[in-house]
Amino acid sequence: MNLPGIRPIIPWHILAVLAMTVLMTWVYNNTGGSLLIAVLFHAFSNFSDWVVPTAPAALGGSTAALTAQVVLNLTVALVVVLVFRTNVAATQTPR
């Protein structure tokens, strides 16, 4: 598949996925492993993309909204890692 319009946003998408991975892991771990809450977090994340479109195709090729979304996701993920650093990764008791 050759979609030249998609290529410029691939790095932004990768950064957004990494940030959301950190956030979803934190949500899952800090709700006692609640899969329902993690799924709801994911659903609301997708819903927010529909309410506030950030895809360049929906905005006439502008990447400003996508850039803002990725920067916000990365900032929140960084705050979560720095503030809750012991709770981001699942902690296991030694055997």
Which tokens in the block code for residue 53?
């479109």
Q: What is the pLDDT of residue 89?
A: 57
14 in a structural domain: yes
Domain of residue 74: give its range. Answer: 8-84
Is 71 part of a structural domain of the chain? yes
Question: What is residue 49's predicted lDDT score, i.e. its pLDDT?
Answer: 77
Map residue 1 onto helix, strand or coil. coil
Please give the radius of gyration of the chain, using alpha carbons only, rounded to the nearest integer: 16
**Is 16 in contact with 69 (CB distance < 8 Å)?**
yes
Residue 93: inside a domain = no
At 75 the pLDDT is 92
Does a structural domain hold residue 80?
yes
CA atoms within 13 A on the CB side of 76: 18
Query: pLDDT (tens digit, 0 to 9) for every residue of the chain, 95 residues total?
Result: 556 666 677 888 888 889 999 999 989 988 999 999 999 999 998 888 778 777 766 667 677 888 888 888 899 999 988 887 765 555 555 44
State if pTM tops 0.85: no
DSSP type of residue 90: P
Number of residues assigned to the chain: 95
At residue 6, the pLDDT reads 66
Using alpha carbons, list the distances in angstroms from residue 60 to 1, 21, 75, 87. 22, 28, 26, 40
Q: What pLDDT score does 63 carry?
A: 76
Name residue 4's amino acid: P
Q: Quote the number of domains for the chain.
A: 1
Q: How much is the pLDDT for 42? A: 92
